[in-house]
Amino acid sequence: MLYAASVLFYFSSVMTQAELDLACIDAIRVLSMDAVQQADSGHPGTPMALAPLAYTLFTKHMRHNPTDPKWANRDRFVLSCGHASMLLYSALYLTGYDLSLDDIKAFRQWGSKTPGHPEYGHTPGVETTTGPLGQGVGNAIGMAVAEAHLAALFNKTPAVIDHHTWFICSDGDVMEGVAAEAASFAGHLKLGKLIGFYDDNNITIEGDTSLTFGDDTGKRFEAYGWHVQHVADVNDLTALDAAIAEAKRVTDKPSLVIVKSHIGYGSPHKQDTAEAHGAPLGADEIKLTKENLKIPSLEPFYVAPDALVCWRKQRDVGAKQQGEWNETFATYKKANPELAAELERRLAGKMQDGWEALLPTFTAQNGNIASRAASGMVLNAIAPKVPELIGGSADLAGSTNTIIKGAPSFAAENYAGRNFHFGIREHGMGAVMNGMALHGGVTPYGATFLIFSDYMRPSVRLASLMHQHVIYVYTHDSIGLGEDGPTHQPIEQLSTLRAIPNMMVIRPADASETAEAWRIALTHRTGPVALVLTRQKLDFLDRSVYAPASGVTKGAYVLSDSANGAPQVVVIATGSEIGIALKAQKTLAEQGVRARVVSMPSMELFEQQDEAYRESVLPKGVKRVSIEAGATMSWYKWVGHEGVAIGLDHFGASAPYQELYKQFGLTPDHVVSAVTSVVA
Ligand SMILES: Cc1ncc(C[n+]2csc(CCOP(=O)(O)OP(=O)(O)O)c2C)c(N)n1
């Protein structure tokens, strides 16, 4: 009886605003607990807790158009705590994105638009893939970086790039190092249009945060240079509104609003417990929760009709916002036709005509140069016609040759700058780069030593998963870096990067291949590309003697074929080991052994070629020997069980590199003896 009486207000013909707000908020709670229950897996607690925040953001503060999730000037929203995906799916469904109630009901099922964690490109309105905690914070910062950069370059009166980036993060997010790296970067850059919310609910999987977490997160973010506010109760919509208004007003610092919430809000037995985090509440508890929240119907996935109408207003509001922007853009375009065309080009991801003509040609006059040096020359040559290419390094600009000479630095005082100083924050750099690429209008590159790709690997994996166009410049690519020793000498990194699906690794053998590698990196749009480059000088390869470097586009090509007849053996190498393979070929020829040398800068590209081409490079029945200064793991696929993979399956050492190559058997003699053994 009590229950029936208490729900009366939902049915009264006119709801007060407070009642309507509550019905809208409860819609998220119901959808979240029911979707998780139906899937028998998922995370109901945080969506239930943060329902008021999502409601406030998606219907009152964010400028977004559910009917066009790709509107260029939309606000960006990142749910960094991706496990709370039902919060985002509910808000997207309720505001009227192309997501149906049936999609919500198919949460976590095969082929549904509502996977366990938000996946970019899969669900309309999802701006990035989240789930690995902390990454989303970095992504949001990258989006704010891209916005600030494009605004600085293109805005006139009127401004055309002018939007906020919002994110929600959880305890796990703020504990992760990647978020700290990125937040420190954002604070230093004073990214004033970035507004984040930290769900301070004191609960993680193992229980109360007091088990492990005593930071004063607010003070920490203040120390990073953020503007920090506190909201004592996420259900206090007035306080939330006020904090958001203040966060918008503060434009010289990123904002963090620390919001207290109760995980599993409304659940009589599970609220404020870790049990509400990652498991269905259970049918009985859901019933009790709905009664406790005074939901007027126990019907699963119930949304009060008035609440749905209220949420769906965002379709009109958003369409109007975009319509107004379209007019603004038309005015802008009239006054600034060239700028507008350039902005349109960049947002469409097209490249300027004629940029490829700037790719340098290397000749004997260039002498023997390291591929990192060649890369720097290529970057600087093409930079004028690829203005969207912006980036830098994690404090290794000089060593990685990634400075665009004469271009200003990207800094709080100059967001138009193109040279980025990511600081010694590789992981943050990776996450920020993903956000930049996801925003659009820029092509980010980021550099460090190949060994430290390990420090950013989770972001590299996500770039691959999200098919993002980001370019990694990884130098000091082997024991060839010499004296710094085994801590700095990559061994397994090439193989482990190659193991990431949709990752493209290119390890060029000389300056000409390096130019080709950059051409590919700029035009390959469906995933990240890692350019793997040497510290040490490489022999100049005379392309009038050897095959043209354009073979890089096929991943592998016959660089130097056997003279006097079909090859008896194929020696495959990459990067700095091509020189060794060519020397071995010469010795073998003197011994009457016909060896072909194949340069294989990219296994991934070679795999994409048709059978006939692959056969033309690596003929069946001809034995193979490979040589690469790294783990042999990725090579057996190419040399087979009858071949030999020469590499390093142990750590390096500190010594001049020529000595290391000798000590570790990366020598022409070793290739010759391996060939002799397989041919015999
Ligand atoms: C990098 C990473 N490590 C571990 C996990 C597994 N995991 C998912 S949620 C979570 C912590 C949950 O606590 P919190 O972040 O406070 O989220 P809440 O319980 O408030 O929803 C963990 C460890 C993850 N998703 N990402």
Q: Are 275 and 23 in contact (CB under 8 A)?
A: no
Band of pLDDT at residue 13, cut at 50, 70 and 90: low
Q: Nearest 5°: CA angle at 302, between 90 and 307?
A: 70
Q: Whole-angstrom Cα distance, residue 155 to residue 549? A: 41
Cβ 204 under 6 angstroms from ligand 1: yes
For range 427-452, the mean pLDDT? 98
The average pLDDT across 542-562 equals 98
What's the one-letter identity of residue 450? Answer: L
The answer to whether residue 579 scores a pLDDT higher than 70 is yes
374, 436, 359: which is closest to 148 by C-alpha? 436
* Half-sphere exposure for 488 (CA within 13 Å, toward CB): 15
Q: Which atom of ligand 1 is nearest to the CA of 45?
A: 21
Distance 172 CA to ligand 1 centre (A): 5
Average pLDDT over residues 494-514: 98
Pure H helices in 618-667? 636-639, 657-663
pLDDT tens digits along 53-98: 999 999 999 999 999 999 999 999 999 999 999 999 999 999 999 9
132 Cβ closer than 6 Å to some ligand 1 atom: yes
What band does 447 get if pLDDT is binned at 50, 70 and 90? very high
Rg (CA), the chain: 28
Residue 494 tokens, joined: 């090439």
pLDDT, mean over the chain: 97
Give the distance, in angstroms, between the CA of residue 190 and the centroid of all CA atoms in the same chain: 22
Residue 589 clears pLDDT 80, i.e. is over it: yes
DSSP states along 241-287: HHHHHHHHH--SS-EEEEEE--TTTT-TTTTTSGGGTSS---HHHHH
DSSP letter at 456 equals G
* Span 317-330, average pLDDT: 98
Distance CA 459, CA 453 (A): 10
* 204 Cα nearest atom in ligand 1: 13
Amino acid identity of 184? Answer: S
Question: How far away, in angstroms, is 282 Cα from ligand 1 center?
Answer: 21
User: d(Cα 526, Cα 466) in Å, to the nearest integer?
Assistant: 9
Give 118-157 pLDDT, tens digit per residue.
Answer: 999 999 999 999 999 999 999 999 999 999 999 999 999 8
User: Residue 491's pLDDT is what?
Assistant: 98
CA of 219 to the centre of ligand 1 (A): 22
Kindly state the average pLDDT of the residues 404-419. 98
pTM of the entire predicted model: 0.97
Confidence of residue 165 (pLDDT cuts 50, 70, 90): very high
Check residue 518 and give its pLDDT.
98
The whole-number pLDDT of residue 3 equals: 44
**CA atoms of 191 and 193, how far apart (whole Å):** 6
Report the amino acid identity of residue 346.
Answer: R
State the DSSP string of 304-358. -HHHHHHHHHHHHHHHHHHHHHHHHHHHHHHH-HHHHHHHHHHHHTPPPTTGGGG
Which amino acid makes up residue 387? P
**pLDDT at 564 > cutoff 70:** yes
Residue 348: pLDDT band (50, 70, 90) is: very high
Per-residue DSSP letters for 377-441?
Answer: HHHHHHGGG-TTEEEEESS-HHHHT---TTPPBPBTTBTT--EEE--S-HHHHHHHHHHHHHH-S
Choose which residue among 170, 260, 457 to substitute to test ligand 1 binding: the one with the highest number of ligand atoms within 8 A of its C-beta: 170
- Tens of pLDDT along 257-316? 999 999 999 999 999 999 999 999 999 999 999 999 999 999 999 999 999 999 999 999
Residue 394 — left, alpha, or beta (φ > 0 → left; ψ -120 to 50 → alpha)? beta
Integer Cα distance of 216 and 259 in angstroms:
13
24 lines ligand 1 (CB under 6 A): no
Give me the pLDDT at residue 527, please.
98
Q: What is the DSSP letter of 481?
A: G
Other beta carbons within 10 Å of 139: 33
Is the pLDDT confidence value at 4 over 60?
no
**pLDDT of the residue at 460:** 98
CA–CA gap between residue 50 and residue 626 (Å, rounded): 55
By the 8 A CB rule, do 276 and 264 touch?
A: yes
Q: Whose CA is nearest to atom 19 of ligand 1?
A: 204
- Region for residue 142 given its phi and psi (left: phi exceeds 0; alpha: psi -120 to 50; beta: otherwise): alpha
C-alpha of 161 from chain center: 22
Neighbouring C-beta atoms of residue 270, cutoff 10 Å: 23
Please state, in angstroms and as integers, the Cα–Cα distance from residue 584 to each residue in 1, 630, 669, following that order: 91, 19, 7
Nearest CA to ligand 1 atom 26: 132
Report yes or no: 199 and 170 within 8 Å, Cβ to Cβ.
yes
Is a pLDDT exceeding 70 seen at residue 474?
yes
Q: Using a CB cutoff of 8 Å and minimum separation of 24, what contacts does 99-107 make?
A: 99/123, 99/124, 99/125, 101/301, 104/31, 104/35, 104/301, 105/35, 105/38, 105/301, 107/35, 107/36, 107/38, 107/39, 107/42
> Taking a C-beta distance cutoff of 8 angstroms, is the pair 508, 552 a contact?
yes
Counting Cα atoms < 13 Å in the Cβ hemisphere of 679 gives: 18
pLDDT of residue 636: 96
Element housing 369 (H / E)? strand 369-370
Report whether pLDDT(5) > 80: no
CA distance 69 to 154: 22
- Pick the atom of ligand 1 nearest to 172's CA: 15
State the pLDDT confidence band at 8, using cuts at 50, 70 and 90: very low
In this predicted model, what pLDDT tens digit does every residue of 209-232 receive, in sequence order? 999 999 999 999 999 999 999 999
In ligand 1, the atom with minimum distance to the C-alpha of 131 is 25
Phi/psi-derived region of residue 2, left when phi > 0, alpha when psi is between -120 and 50, beta in every other case:
alpha
Strand order in the sheet with 644-646: 557-560, 595-599, 569-573, 623-627, 644-646
Strand partners, 227: 255
Q: How far apart (Å, rounded) are the C-alpha atoms in residues 511 and 362?
A: 6
Residue nearest to atom 8 of ligand 1 (CA): 83
DSSP 545: T
Q: How confident is the model at residue 6 (pLDDT cuts 50, 70, 90)?
A: very low
C-alpha of residue 285 to centroid of ligand 1, in Å: 23
Work out the pLDDT band at 14, boundaries 50, 70, 90.
Answer: confident
CA-proximal residue: ligand 1, atom 12 (nearest): 204
Write the pLDDT tens digit of every residue in 360-379: 999 999 999 999 999 999 99
pLDDT tens digit sequence for 240-249: 999 999 999 9
pLDDT of 12 > 90? The answer is no
Is the CB of residue 75 below 6 angstroms from any atom belonging to ligand 1?
A: no
Quote the ligand 1 centre to 175 CA distance (angstroms): 10
Mean pLDDT of 424-442: 98
Q: What is the pLDDT of residue 680?
A: 85
Question: Residue 427: CB within 6 Å of ligand 1?
Answer: no
With a cut of 80, say whether residue 581 has pLDDT above it.
yes
Q: Between the CA of residue 359 and those of 381, 442, 507, what are the distances in Å? A: 6, 20, 18
Residues carrying an active site annotation: 426
> Would you call the peptide bond into 158 cis, given omega within 30 degrees of 0 as the criterion?
yes
Q: Ligand 1, residue 84: give the atom nearest the CA.
A: 21
Cα(109) to centroid of ligand 1, in Å?
A: 21
DSSP 34-95: HHHHHHT-S--HHHHHHHHHHHHIIIII----TT-TT-TTPPEEEESSGGGHHHHHHHHHHH
Check whether 2 has a pLDDT greater than 50. no
Nearest to 475 by CA among 422, 537, 427, 423: 537
Give the model's confidence band at 1: pLDDT under 50 very low, under 70 low, under 90 confident, else very high. Answer: very low
DSSP state of 191: -
Distance in Å, CA 117 to ligand 1 centroid? 12
Residue 361 exposed, middle or buried by CB count within 10 Å (0-12, 13-18, 19+): exposed
